[in-house]
């Protein structure tokens, strides 16, 4: 009997593994086709090497830059700047958004600022931040903070305003104080919308950091990409793009996982 059960478990496990592989293949088949076509077209010379090198050459350059530490060091700089700015934006944006939704005075002051500031392309402020702060980490982090503040604050405000008032009334009927009401009822109820704002802000933080590094230098993936352009090294340019794509994908998946765990009760 024990052997039969073990055999059944093995069959189920194998079937599950096959299902997982099939699902993964379905999810990536279009990307695989594009990559294969990329390699074939470039190897046959239909596209000039400078505009689009073969994928194999790009992956080789990516490996070389990773092994010698160039990609790792500059990737670390980009991630650090983006995440510090994003964390600062989350702290400020969530606070402002929640208080704007719950306080008339805060709403009166911040609502017009959020509505006007949200659609402004912060990339246009790169020269201004260069004037103010120079070319180090500070201007990059400051601009990321500003650029990510708007979607976080907007989503936090709207999510807080959409909290079911029945929850608030029920909590008040049970004698919950205003301080505990905000922390234990309103913020948890608004959490899905707040985290959605953070998900919107995440790629924005990487975009701003990458562009600022291209313009101002100071290391980072944006800096080594523009170096590749200036030296006519297209393989380095595309290798850097692959690096930023990998970073964006990993961070996005990490945030999605954190969201599913934090909001397991929803």
Task: Spell out the per-residue pLDDT of the chain, length 266, in tens.
Answer: 445 554 454 545 554 456 655 555 566 677 888 888 988 988 888 888 889 899 999 999 999 999 999 999 999 999 999 999 999 999 999 999 999 988 889 989 998 998 888 888 888 888 898 888 887 889 999 999 999 999 999 999 999 888 877 766 777 677 666 667 777 778 888 889 999 999 999 999 999 999 999 988 788 999 999 999 999 999 999 999 999 999 999 999 999 988 888 887 65
Question: Residue 214 in contact with residue 223, Cβ under 8 Å?
Answer: yes
Domain ranges in the chain are: 2-47, 57-262
Place domain 57-262 in its CATH homologous superfamily: MetI-like (1.10.3720.10)
Question: Residue 193 in contact with residue 158, Cβ under 8 Å?
Answer: yes
Q: Would the pTM of this model clear 0.85, i.e. be above it?
A: no
Burial per residue of 200-230, b for 16 or more beta-carbon CB atoms within 10 angstroms, e otherwise: ebbebbbbbbbbbbbbbebbbbbbbbbbbee
The alpha carbon of residue 200 and the mean position of all alpha carbons in its chain are separated, in whole angstroms, by 7
């Amino acid at each position: 009997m024990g052997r039969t059960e073990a055999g059944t478990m093995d069959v189920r496990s194998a079937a599950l593994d096959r299902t997982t592989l099939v699902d993964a293949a379905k999810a990536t088949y279009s990307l695989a086709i594009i990559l294969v076509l990329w390699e074939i077209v470039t190897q046959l010379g239909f596209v000039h090497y400078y505009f689009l090198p073969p994928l194999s050459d790009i992956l080789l350059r990516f490996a070389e830059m990773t092994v010698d530490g160039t990609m790792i060091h500059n990737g670390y700089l980009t991630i650090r700047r983006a995440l510090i700015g994003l964390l600062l934006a989350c702290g400020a944006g969530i606070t402002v958004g929640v208080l704007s939704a719950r306080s008339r005075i805060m709403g009166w002051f911040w609502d017009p600022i959020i509505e006007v500031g949200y659609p402004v392309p912060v990339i246009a402020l790169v020269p201004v931040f260069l004037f103010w702060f120079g070319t180090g980490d500070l201007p990059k982090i400051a601009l990321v903070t500003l650029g990510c503040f708007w979607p976080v604050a907007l989503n936090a405000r709207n999510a807080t305003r959409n909290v079911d008032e029945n929850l608030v009334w029920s909590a008040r009927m049970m004698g919950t104080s205003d301080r505990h009401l905000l922390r234990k009822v309103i913020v948890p109820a608004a959490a899905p919308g707040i985290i959605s704002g953070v998900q919107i802000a995440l790629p924005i933080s990487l975009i701003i950091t990458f562009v600022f590094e291209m313009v101002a230098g100071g290391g980072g993936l944006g800096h080594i990409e523009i170096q590749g352009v200036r030296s006519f090294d297209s393989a380095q340019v595309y290798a850097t793009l692959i690096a930023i794509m990998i970073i964006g994908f990993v961070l996005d998946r990490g945030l999605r996982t954190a969201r599913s765990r934090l909001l397991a009760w929803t």
